[in-house]
Amino acid sequence: MSKLNIDQKTIKGLFADKKTDFLIPDYQRPYAWGETECQTLWDDIFTFAIPEDDATKFRQDEEYFLGPIVTFKNGSGKQEIIDGQQRLTTLMLLLRAFYERSGMMQDKGTKSMRKMIEQCVWKTNEFDEPNKDALKIDSEVATDDDKEEFLDILKDGVAPNNFKSRYAENYRFFQKKIDDFLANYPTFFPYLPIRVLGNCILLPIEAENQDTALRIFSTLNDRGKPLSDADIFKAEFYKYYSKNGKKEDFIERWRELECLSSLTFNSSKDSPLDELFTLYMYFLRAKQGNTNTTTEALRKFYEKDTYKALKNETTLDELEILIKFWYDVKNQDLNRFSDKVLQLLFVLNYAPNGMWYYFVSVYFMHNKQSDGSLEENAFLKFLERTIGFIWAYALTNPGVNALRTPIYREMVNLINDKEVTFSDFKFERDNLENIIKSYRFLNQRQITRSMITWWAYQHNQQVLLPLESKFDIEHIYARNRVKNEPLKDGWNAELLGNKSLLEQRINIRASDYRFTDKVKYYKGLQGGKGERKQTCISELLAMANEKNDFTEDDILNRNEAIIKGFIAYLDQNGLLK
């Protein structure tokens, strides 16, 4: 079990310790606090230290908790900050602003306060005299061009007008707050910084190593955004490129990776860059011939052999190529892909699970030509077969991880220049047809949306739909109609034959349940406020133009057509036994 040193300390107790030597490491994100966070901090500590606007009402035993600080001691003896970067940085700026503003004051309380701040901001000798060239905090953040401004402000106590960073803005904010405080409460001035130093509490947690510190941070932190694996990888890249004299080039390229990843991946929890590294990991796994269905955690995979994969210029080159591919997919770039390819990629976007992203990434990375393009016919064949297999496998082998076995095996086959055939996992026609016919395609099941998306593109006139469009599952024979005009079999209303994609913007009212009413919405002849647009789902438009009604027989006939069409699709792609 890893050892932890946990000891509640005042700001002075933590910062003034002669052993204190903080480092904001290269893999951290740039300083992000702005005026809102600084205002909140100021209001909190002011209310605490000067209760009811009266310093005399403060109780000496009162304490105000500012939160945990998670660090570990690195090989150079510095305390690398894993959690608390924003608080520590801001507190340093606040203390420096108090110190600078009190420079001309000679009263005993102010002199004592300045002595304390000196011990917190600068390293001191055995007589507690500060060396103002040796700060107690340093920053090596790779993608923070403004870190020098932070260090200069701490050293010199000024933020000139040409300083435009958040550090400078926040420092000037605190200077103004202190000036206002002095103007309104001149006799209370020393009390505020003294109470911040002596009664505001931090909980420093010093872990044994980086891994432990990161785990603690992930457990404790429910406010900020935890360090991603990509932040750690950035540090390894940064060291490698700095060593080879390409630091500036790396920083610029990394920023572009961050930008493209954020524009490409909809990641709610992890860093978008983590998603890119995950896609690339599957390519590396396939190159290693790894078909193990137990997938390692992202950082565990890359940290092998002291991050060997990241100490190779080819890696960054390939990450750039990979993200540009997915960026163009996300933007449905017709200069790069044909309309047919983009249609298939749209269908895959509605797959019952996300395994297809990894599979397509491996295909692209292995088969890309020198200009990043793919041979059109081969790619189309791969996409068609992938859609058919994933859809059918989700029906016959329902399970979150079931798809790993066949997909991982085919990833390795791809790397070995073998055609993707899923030869060991083909489907028995009658069995699959029976499964589909008996399957309950409820709206909450992802395979339902997957099937009707696939079916939409089996209509010859279907145009490419924008990926950013939002679609609902439309019941052509409305649920409300079933209440008034019951079907012979009520379950038929939930068959695939009664379901279609329909744009969310076409909000059909529950009262408009008759097919003749729905037709007006499909055609864009009726709707809410603003411009009325017809649906882009060509099958619905065809129904609207060709049919006067949509009956239970129509549901059954369409359902049969979808099932037979899907079986035929699998047969065309060589996926049936």
Identify residue 407 by its one-letter amino acid code.
I
Report CA 454 to chain centroid distance, whole Å: 28
**Shared-domain flag, residues 153 and 291:** no
220, 242, 268 - which closes a domain: 220
- Taking the CB of residue 496, how many other CB atoms lie within 10 A of it? 21
Of the two residues 572 and 6, the one the predictor is more confident about is: 572
**Shared-domain flag, residues 213 and 328:** no
**Shared-domain flag, residues 106 and 186:** yes
**Shared-domain flag, residues 248 and 299:** yes
Report CA 482 to chain centroid distance, whole Å: 42
Of the two residues 326 and 127, the one the predictor is more confident about is: 326
Convert the pLDDT of each residue in 470-489 to its tens digit: 999 999 999 899 999 999 99
Supply the pLDDT for residue 226: 60
Convert the pLDDT of each residue in 246-268 to its tens digit: 988 998 899 899 999 999 997 65
- Would residue 365 count as lying in a domain? yes
Pairwise CA distance, residues 333 & 339, whole Å: 9
**Shared-domain flag, residues 209 and 240:** no
**Shared-domain flag, residues 250 and 206:** no
- Would residue 193 count as lying in a domain? yes
Supply the pLDDT for residue 89: 96
Nearest CA among 421, 412, 418, 404 for reference residue 287:
412
Supply the pLDDT for residue 389: 98
220, 253, 277 - which closes a domain: 220
Phi, psi of 159 (to 5 degrees): -125, 85
408, 423, 438 - which closes a domain: 423
pLDDT band at residue 1 using 50, 70 and 90 as cut-offs: very low
Pairing between β-strand 9-10 and β-strand 200-207 as defined by DSSP bridges = antiparallel
- Would residue 472 count as lying in a domain? yes
Convert the pLDDT of each residue in 165-212 to its tens digit: 999 999 999 999 999 999 998 888 889 999 999 999 999 988 888 777
State yes or no: pLDDT of 393 exceeds 60: yes
State yes or no: pLDDT of 430 exceeds 60: yes
State yes or no: pLDDT of 65 exceeds 80: yes
Pairwise CA distance, residues 357 & 415, whole Å: 16
DSSP 81: E
Phi, psi of 294 (to 5 degrees): -90, 110
**Shared-domain flag, residues 357 and 488:** no
| Contact call for residues 227 and 214 (beta carbons, < 8 A) | yes
Nearest CA among 398, 243, 222 for reference residue 311:
243
- Would residue 301 count as lying in a domain? yes
- Would residue 266 count as lying in a domain? yes
Which positions ≥6 away from 524 have C-beta within 8 Å? 532, 533, 534, 535
Residue 525: give the domain boundaries. 446-572
Supply the pLDDT for residue 236: 85
Nearest CA among 470, 469, 463 for reference residue 539:
463
Supply the pLDDT for residue 437: 95
**Shared-domain flag, residues 211 and 255:** no
| Contact call for residues 311 and 240 (beta carbons, < 8 A) | yes
Residue keyed to tokens 């990161």: 214
**Shared-domain flag, residues 357 and 267:** yes
Burial of 381 per CB tally in 10 Å (0-12, 13-18, 19+)? middle
Counted domains in the chain:
3
Which positions ≥6 away from 318 have C-beta within 8 Å? 280, 283, 365
- Would residue 482 count as lying in a domain? yes
Residue keyed to tokens 């740039």: 30
- Would residue 10 count as lying in a domain? yes
At residue 137, the 3 state secondary structure works out as strand
| Contact call for residues 160 and 45 (beta carbons, < 8 A) | no
At residue 295, the 3 state secondary structure works out as coil
Per-position DSSP letters for 382-449, written without gaps between them:
HHHHHHHHHHHHHHHS-STTTTHHHHHHHHHHHHTT-----GGG-B-HHHHHHHHHH----TTSHHHH
Least confident of 300-314, 385-399, 402-416: 300-314
Q: List the structure tokens of 222.
A: 């429910």
Half-sphere exposure of 488 (CA within 13 A, CB side): 5
> Looking at the DSSP assignment, which residues form a beta bridge with residue 554?
none
Q: What percentage of the chain reaches a pLDDT higher than 90? A: 71
Segment 100-122 shows an average pLDDT of 88
Supply the pLDDT for residue 222: 45
Instruction: Give CA torsion, residues 407, 408, 409, 415, to 10 deg.
Output: 110
Which positions ≥6 away from 237 have C-beta within 8 Å? 250, 254, 310, 316
> Looking at the DSSP assignment, which residues form a beta bridge with residue 200?
64
- Taking the CB of residue 238, how many other CB atoms lie within 10 A of it? 22
Supply the pLDDT for residue 248: 85
**Shared-domain flag, residues 338 and 461:** no
Convert the pLDDT of each residue in 514-561 to its tens digit: 999 999 999 988 655 555 789 999 999 999 999 999 999 999 999 999
**Shared-domain flag, residues 112 and 233:** no
**Shared-domain flag, residues 57 and 196:** yes
Convert the pLDDT of each residue in 18-64 to its tens digit: 999 999 988 888 899 999 999 999 999 999 999 998 888 888 888 99
State yes or no: pLDDT of 305 exceeds 80: yes
- Would residue 441 count as lying in a domain? no
Pairwise CA distance, residues 514 & 483, whole Å: 12
Supply the pLDDT for residue 223: 46
Q: Give the Å distances, CA to CA, from 383 to 348, 376, 473, 482, 506.
A: 8, 11, 24, 38, 30
Supply the pLDDT for residue 232: 84
Half-sphere exposure of 182 (CA within 13 A, CB side): 14
